[in-house]
Chain A
């Protein structure tokens, strides 16, 4: 937890204090940025913007919440703004439909991801944002709707499609077969 003295010194522009905050919180904050952005180079650029924004906003931090929570909110907002400015989030609704349609639900041709992080990178930006915010970061659909400028229903719809795709991509991690019924095909309806 960031101590108040470090934060006060950081507000006054003390480089050592600013660096101490960055050292302590960058592993967590940068992980969120990377998950939301996907592309490592873009993530690095956006993470830099995020930290500048956090430090610029530091005088407004009142200590009502934990510093990590406060900085995390800024990181998410700034990252989504950056993605929006890259015109990626704006096309989310269209992309998710296309992505979902292209998912091979039986998994035979799906490229399995080794980790959930790797699998998330294969989602479209919009689906990735919704999945990361809801299932990883714990945002509600209403909060996601406000952040992304979509409806709560739209957020749910994207989440469930994203989960369906991830379930296929991470088959080897989440499959613990109880039944040996090989006749089941997931997208039968």
Chain B
């Protein structure tokens, strides 16, 4: 028998040799070598399947085409909506913070809260704030936080009537302890449910009340004592 053709040797990588071919391959070293080379070629090809190359395009050009095709959405995506919700919650929290500090200050100053609560309520409601951008909302939130801080400072400084309703350093200390527990437990819960408005409101109110109480506590200390840490 003459040598086996290259195409037939290539086929014998996948197919069974006929009896004649088998006996020839057993006797002809060159044909056996050729068959072995074809087998190595197929193994080499198989390794190509896992080979990776650099992408043939860049994202800028592909992304532009995907936008043109309408595949990339120009509407707010889930992530963006989530981000905006978080921004809204932060802004609402800022407003609650201010309202909480005002209430805490007024309450500790012995002022009738009923009408003030009605007045404060609208400001605590995140009534569909219209912001041009996250930066715009951030500015509002920062401003609200500053207002809170100013209001708490002012109320602590003005709180000169607490002794008339029996408030003293022990009262403030007990309140601080309770508020610390509330802050800790609501903060822990917020890790599980960061967007829950009820938890956010309680947490921020507790933080605000704690801040105001600390100032009142410091103000209630004897003149020569200062609160170094709590």
Contact = CB atoms under 8 A, between A and B. Distances in A.
B29 A18 contact: no
Interface residues of A, number: 62
Interface in A115-170: 116-117, 131, 135-138, 156, 159-161, 163-164, 166-168, 170
A48 B41 CA distance: 31
Nearest to B72: A15
Interface in A170-189: 170, 173-179, 181, 183-189
Given A135-B46, A170-B44, A177-B33, A47 B57 contact: yes
A160 B59 contact: no
A82 to B, nearest CB: 13
Interface string B21-60: 0000000111111101110111011101101111111010
B75 interface: yes
Tell which of A30, A35, A117, A135 has the most Cβ of chain B within 10 Å. Answer: A135
A175 B52 contact: no
Nearest to B48: A136
Contacts of B44: 116, 170, 173-174
B13 A163 contact: yes
B139 to A, nearest CB: 26
A78 interface: no
B79 A16 contact: yes
Contacts of A105: 6
A8 B32 CA distance: 54
A175 B75 contact: no
A44 B57 contact: yes
A18 B38 contact: no
B177 to A, nearest CB: 42
A40 B54 CA distance: 12
Given A34-B56, A188-B3, A189-B5, A52 B71 contact: yes
Interface of A: 8-9, 12-16, 18-19, 22-23, 26-28, 30-31, 33-35, 40, 43-44, 47-48, 51-52, 55-56, 100, 105, 116-117, 131, 135-138, 156, 159-161, 163-164, 166-168, 170, 173-179, 181, 183-189
Closest 3 CB pairs of A and B: A13-B73, A184-B30, A179-B29
Interface of B: 2-3, 5-11, 13, 28-34, 36-38, 40-42, 44-46, 48-49, 51-57, 59, 61-63, 65-66, 69, 71-73, 75, 77-79
